[in-house]
Amino acid sequence: MKFDLLTTDINSKARAGEITTDHGKIETPIFMPVGTIATVKGVHQRELKEEINPDIILGNTYHLYLRPQTDILRKAGGIHKFMNWDRNILTDSGGYQVYSLSANRKIKEEGVKFKSHIDGSYHFFTPENVMEIQRTIGADIIMAFDECTPYPCDYRYAKRSMHMTHRWLDRCIKHFEKTPPLYGYEQTLFPIVQGSTYKDLRKQSAEYIANAGAAGNAIGGLSVGEPAEEMYAMTEVVTEILPEEKPRYLMGVGTPINILENIALGVDMFDCVMPTRNGRNGMLFTAYGTINIKNKKWEDDFSPLDEMGITWVDTEYSKAYVRHLFTVNEMLGRQIATIHNLGFYLWLVREARKHILAGDFRAWKDKMVKQMDKRL
């Protein structure tokens, strides 16, 4: 993997860059649509490519390990072939899902024993077998196995957890280097900064992660319920320490405003379930604020879904029609909302990139943040 830093904004820490992997180029800053179980829910791969056009999407180790299971993915020739996606894929290590989904998880130095949220069967994740699972899945960028701390989290627990994440990272790197890629293209391992909402721990973790010398670095354990201001403070502490010449990935963030503020703090990569999950619940993100399409006020509004017309659905259907689809619980409504939201998120980061390259990002960002902070 190669990262070219093209420019840094003069009035903020925002950066425009380009990542190159064996599956092509990723122009940063980038938003990665979440395709947890080898699908961006409700969106055809063709539609994803032609309408939303992301350079990279996300898959999840925990979910793919449980279903369809690694044996099927290996027989298919890896996740790209399995889902017929020839661009980049990043897989999260499953640390967060073990934290959020599984009942009765037991965390020990060796790894985590957890109960499947599907059938209650027991499984064991270690840094070593998570590397092997991710080798078999075959994503271009894979994540180190970490422990994601809850919020709020007391200092002693956060500190213990962070040190364990660091020890697990050493095991991940060691094992990753021993296991060759299976499908003839390179995979790149990103470590993850932890430390909850404690500045001194975040600093310590960022230094440890920077010293690991990986090709890119991630910031984890945020967007788990802490106030936005705390999230920004932690990001700032960490981006000051992480090497400039390597991409920085803020995991699980966030709202369109969160994304712009974190781009201004020097983050290059984002993923979040909001555009897809909130879309399926009738929430539409636009450049002028959010719309709850289920509200009665849209019942007889025959104007286009979004006049900006970023994706084809925006001008093809009216607000009244999409509201009707949600009212009658028709799956097409959820598909339209998903395509609209993902199209908007990708437009937003690409617009941000244009303004970083043009040198007026800060003024544009401040205007957009104000503009989007409304319920329509």
DSSP string, 227-272: -HHHHHHHHHHHHHHS-TTS-EEETT---HHHHHHHHHTT--EEE-
Report the C-alpha gap between 88 and 80 in whole angstroms.
8
Residue 24's SS3 state is strand
DSSP code for 359: T
165-201 pLDDT, tens digit each: 999 999 999 999 999 999 999 999 999 999 999 999 9
- Please state whether the predicted TM-score (pTM) of the whole model is above 0.85: yes
Report the C-alpha gap between 232 and 63 in whole angstroms.
29
242 lies in the same domain as 277: no
The predicted structure's pLDDT at residue 96: 84
In the predicted model, is pLDDT for residue 100 greater than 90? no
Report the C-alpha gap between 232 and 230 in whole angstroms.
5
| Confidence grade of residue 102 (pLDDT, cut at 50, 70, 90) | low
The predicted structure's pLDDT at residue 355: 98
Report the C-alpha gap between 343 and 48 in whole angstroms.
9
* Full domain range(s) for residue 40: 2-271
In the predicted model, is pLDDT for residue 236 greater than 70? yes
| Confidence grade of residue 149 (pLDDT, cut at 50, 70, 90) | confident
299 lies in the same domain as 251: no
245-282 pLDDT, tens digit each: 999 999 999 999 999 999 999 999 999 999 999 999 99
H-run or E-run covering 344 = helix 331-358
- The CA distances from residue 236 to 8, 141, 143, 217, in Å, are 15, 24, 21, 14
Domain count, the chain: 2
217 lies in the same domain as 139: yes
The predicted structure's pLDDT at residue 26: 98
188 lies in the same domain as 89: yes
| Confidence grade of residue 352 (pLDDT, cut at 50, 70, 90) | very high
61 lies in the same domain as 202: yes
| Confidence grade of residue 104 (pLDDT, cut at 50, 70, 90) | confident
**Mean per-residue pLDDT for 23-30?**
98
Side chain identity, residue 149: T
User: Which two three-digit tokens encode residue 365?
Assistant: 């960002």
Report the C-alpha gap between 48 and 130 in whole angstroms.
28
CATH number at residue 39: 3.20.20.105
236 lies in the same domain as 357: no
285 lies in the same domain as 256: no
57 lies in the same domain as 196: yes
The predicted structure's pLDDT at residue 18: 98
Which of 234, 252, 271 is the C-terminal boundary of a domain? 271
Q: Percentage of the chain surpassing pLDDT 90? A: 93
Q: Which residues are catalytic?
A: 92, 271
- Write down the mean pLDDT value for the chain: 97
The predicted structure's pLDDT at residue 161: 95
| Confidence grade of residue 99 (pLDDT, cut at 50, 70, 90) | confident
H-run or E-run covering 371 = helix 361-372
Which of 271, 299, 324 is the C-terminal boundary of a domain? 271
| Confidence grade of residue 98 (pLDDT, cut at 50, 70, 90) | confident
Q: Percentage of the chain surpassing pLDDT 70? A: 99
325 lies in the same domain as 241: no
266 lies in the same domain as 282: no
275-327 pLDDT, tens digit each: 999 999 999 999 999 999 999 999 999 999 999 999 999 999 999 999 999 99
Which of 215, 247, 271 is the C-terminal boundary of a domain? 271
123 lies in the same domain as 223: yes
334 lies in the same domain as 228: no
